[in-house]
Amino acid sequence: MSAMPLQSAPLAGDQPLSVPRRPLDLEDYVDVARRHRAWILGPAFLGLVLGVITAFLWEDSYIARGKIRITPPQVPARLVPGNVGEELTARINAIAQEIITRSSLQNLIQTYNLYPEDRKRLPMEDVIDRMRRAIGIDNIGSYSRSGSPRYHVFTVSFVYSDRRLAQKICSELIDRFTKQSIESRLNSSRQTTLFLSDQYESAKRELDDIDARIAVFRSKYFGQLPEQEQMVVSRLSSMEASLQATTGQLSRAQQDRIQLETQLRELREEAAALSQQPPAADTAAIAARTNPRIGELQREIERSRNTLRVLRESYTDTHPDVRRLVAFIEGREAQLNELIEEEKKRLAEAPAAKGSPARAVPAASAQKLREVSTAIARVQAALQAKDMEIEEHNRQINELKNRIKATQGKLEAGVSVSQEYLQLVRDRELAARRYEELSRKLQDSNMATDLVSRGQSETMEVLESPVIPEEPIAPNRPLIIAVGVVLGLAVGIGLASVREIKDSSLKNLKDVRAYTRLTVLGSIPLLENDFVVRRRRRIGWLAWTCAILVGLLLMAGAVFYYYTQRG
């Protein structure tokens, strides 16, 4: 049956009809694959060819591995401590950094003629970086059996295209590891011993010098040494502590007395103000109650005056803080007077029918005056008690000072001598302690150095020597070929899907029934010229045959090249 386009039926007004595609079933997918099999199989075969070529032209990479074991010292560490206390992992990394230096790797590259092609087209730094990435140091682990010492094992590996060179380079790296470990540990131990020896000689000279000075000092100041005055010094220290405590109590009592005097002065001023208050103060009090701003200004002025009294006890009137506070009080008093005058005028102009609360003020002032008088008497009694306490403290202080002066008189002749002698003794103790500690450390360091030089300390030994690898670790040829086929097949399916989506013709009777909704009475097959059909088939077979032959030749050439080069 000939294919008909999907959008062939016109609507009214010559508008084309657009309908959604019908859902496809398994038979339709098989039909799509049959129609576009060339577009699917072609990219899949191309992916196979490219995968085979890539897999067999990719250079093999062989890895050679060897294991190094770090054996513990034959003499226990509790008997002979080692001079090298660096952590195991840090020490291995330090040795590895020395081995993979530029000069070391360049020497290996030139000795064994490594990376000849890369050296022709790349600078030496890039070649060295590639070799550095090919070296692996990993798998640091600890192994031990029951009752046996713990062994640390790590792996050294090298990756290269030539398996024999890979084994040689890995062996060379392991040999350098073991030699570098012995040299590094021996040099560190010797340097530590040399340093401790210098420090020991310095401490010995210092101790001898202090001993000589002490001997001269004892012969010169015989009879005035601190051993003869220890009890007097202890008694003097006790009296000084008592004097310090009593002085502290006197200071606190004087501070309390100043506070009581300040409180008494404020109470007396308040009583004088209450007893000598002019009649106009009633009006001011009424104004203060009617205007909250007046009350706030009065309280602020009172606080400022109290602060001014405290400052005048410590500073003169010319002090900047005192002058600023006086100016501030004068300004607030001027504002207060203006507000009181304004409030008085307002109260005077108010109607008489409203009355005035000023009549209750005199009685309240008398009650306040009595309370202030009682507080004054109470503060005066506390002030008298505080004066007696201060007098007692002064008496105790004078007595302690006299006793201390008498005791110090006994020590005046030997104070400077005692201080100098005690300083010499302290210096001698410190020098002796340092000398003993350095002597012990130097002895341990000498034994540790001797242990390293005899090869009985912690050493690195080859646990497994690298062997020539049999099979390469890369590339994974089956995986590469499979990936190439899958990618080619995916590209082919994508191309077939795009062609199928763009093709809007009716393919079979299902399409005719679905899109026209008419009953199909019969179908006419597509009639083509036999000659044209045969020629198109011959061209297709010829193209496929050539493509397959070329692909097979390319794959065979890649395989032949790989096995020839490998041999």
List, for residues 51-83, the tens digit of each pLDDT value: 999 988 888 888 999 998 887 776 666 666 665
Q: Could you give the CA distance from residue 171 to residue 112 in angstroms, rounded to a whole number?
A: 13
Q: Could you give the CA distance from residue 508 to residue 33 in angstroms, rounded to a whole number?
A: 15
Domains of the chain from N-terminus onward:
26-58+475-566 (no CATH), 62-201+458-464 (3.30.70.1130)
Question: How do the residues of the chain divide into helix, strand and coil, expressed in percent and rounded to 5?
Answer: 75, 5, 20
Please give the C-alpha separations between residue 525 and each of 6, 509, 519, in angstroms, as whole numbers: 18, 12, 18
Q: Are 102 and 128 in contact (CB under 8 A)?
A: yes
Q: Could you give the CA distance from residue 323 to residue 311 in angstroms, rounded to a whole number?
A: 10
Q: Are 285 and 358 in contact (CB under 8 A)?
A: yes
Q: Could you give the CA distance from residue 403 to residue 281 in angstroms, rounded to a whole number?
A: 61
Half-sphere exposure of 354 (CA within 13 A, CB side): 9
Digitized pLDDT (tens) for each residue of the chain, 567 residues in all: 444 444 444 444 444 556 677 777 788 788 888 888 888 888 999 999 999 999 888 888 889 999 988 877 766 666 666 656 556 677 778 888 888 889 989 999 999 999 988 888 889 999 999 999 999 888 666 655 554 556 688 899 999 988 899 999 999 999 988 888 878 777 878 888 888 889 989 898 988 998 888 888 877 765 456 665 676 677 778 888 888 888 888 888 888 888 878 888 877 777 777 666 444 445 555 555 566 777 777 778 887 887 777 777 777 777 777 788 888 888 888 887 888 777 767 766 654 444 444 444 455 566 777 777 788 888 888 888 888 888 888 888 888 888 888 777 666 656 666 777 778 888 889 999 998 998 888 888 888 777 777 766 777 888 888 998 888 887 888 999 999 999 999 998 998 888 888 877 767 667 767 777 777 666 676 666 777 778 888 888 898 899 899 999 999 998 898 888 765
List, for residues 497-540, the tens digit of each pLDDT value: 888 888 777 676 677 677 777 776 666 766 667 777 788 888 88
Neighbour count for residue 561 (Cβ, 10 Å): 13
- 218's CB contacts (< 8 A; 6+ apart) are 225
Query: In degrees to the nearest 10, what's the CA dihedral of 33, 38, 41, 42?
Result: -150
Buried residues in 331-363 as b, exposed as e (16+ CB within 10 A) = ebeeebeebbeebeeeeeeeeeeeeeebeebee
| CA-based nearest residue to 138, from 121, 153, 151 | 153
Q: Are 246 and 337 in contact (CB under 8 A)?
A: no
List, for residues 143-184, the tens digit of each pLDDT value: 555 545 566 888 999 999 888 999 999 999 999 888 888 787
Q: Are 115 and 106 in contact (CB under 8 A)?
A: no
pTM: 0.48
